[in-house]
Amino acid sequence: MMDKKLKTELIKIFLKFNIPKMAVFEQIPAKKLKNAKKSYGQLLEDDEVVVLIYDETAFGSAKKGFILTNRRIHLKNIFDFPKTLELEDVVSFSKKSLSEINANLRNGVVVSIMSSGTLKNDLNVSLLNEMLIVLKKGSKSMSSNLTCKSCGASVENQIGKCIYCRTTI
């Protein structure tokens, strides 16, 4: 589940850029999301919220492209195997060429996000960078640890119960 304020902020960013072949939250067609999950989103976990999907295919199947979640990017480039990147490892996105955008990782690795033409300008890079900042800021505020009053253990905020003594936090 995602904080309503965070979701609203992400939707505002999306609407500011309004990029074809991308959809956010409830706008994502169920069939596209199903195809994307089957093709390159097999590692999606239950606690991941799908924020945005980019459909790189010519006919709209979404079997190539990427899924941006609150925690990760799941992607499949043309002629490549599926990849999953942790958002905490992504420093920024940058344009490599007219048809390619890179995810720049903190360890210096650059991962290419191929495009058939939609992700080719600076506005798209700006959208991804703005969403990245908001998601990282949101995940830090959501995942702050609390101390269990019963046993003193440090427990993640979103769990709700201490994993050691089962006391409600």
**Within 10 A of 109 (CB to CB), how many other CB atoms are there?**
11
d(CA 2, CA 16): 21
Is the model's pTM score more than 0.75? Answer: yes
Task: Write the DSSP symbol of residue 29.
Answer: -
CATH for 4-144 is 2.30.29
pLDDT of 140 strictly over 90: no
Residue-averaged pLDDT of the chain? 83
Are 55 and 119 a contacting pair, CB within 8 Å?
Answer: no
pLDDT tens digits for range 72-95: 999 988 778 899 999 999 999 988
Q: Where are the domains of the chain?
A: 4-144
Q: Residues 134-143: what's their mean pLDDT?
A: 73
In the prediction, which pLDDT does 45 show?
93
Enter the tokens of residue 26. 């409830």
Enter the tokens of residue 12. 């505002």
